[in-house]
Amino acid sequence: MTTSIAISEQLAVFQQPPNGQRKVVIATNIAETSITIDDIIIVIDSGRAKENRYDALNRLPQLIDCWISTANRRQRRGRAGRVQAGEAFYM
């Protein structure tokens, strides 16, 4: 799930999977605070995020891959188990 995916596709994450199948949602940090997906019970967290930073030397914005903060980690962990028991695993 990213902001570059069409809204119709983003809304599909809220649908129940067919019987006998599991739902897997791969998301950027858009899912960290913006949404609650009721049936998410496991979060696997890379501990990484891309952040916009300004490069003063080149006078350009850059998208930098960096480690997340402890607060971000807690927020991501909180995505699992919002409405039922959940777990978080860290890579």
Report if residue 19 sits inside a domain.
yes
Domain encompassing residue 45: 7-90
Report if residue 86 sits inside a domain.
yes
pTM as predicted: 0.66
Give the count of alpha carbons within 13 A of 70, CB side only.
0
Report if residue 63 sits inside a domain.
yes
CATH number of the CATH domain containing 28: 3.40.50.300
If one counts the domains in the chain, the total is 1
Over residues 19-25, the mean pLDDT reads: 87
| pLDDT at residue 6, as a whole number | 81
pLDDT at 20 over 70: yes
Report if residue 55 sits inside a domain.
yes
Report if residue 58 sits inside a domain.
yes
pLDDT at 16 over 70: yes
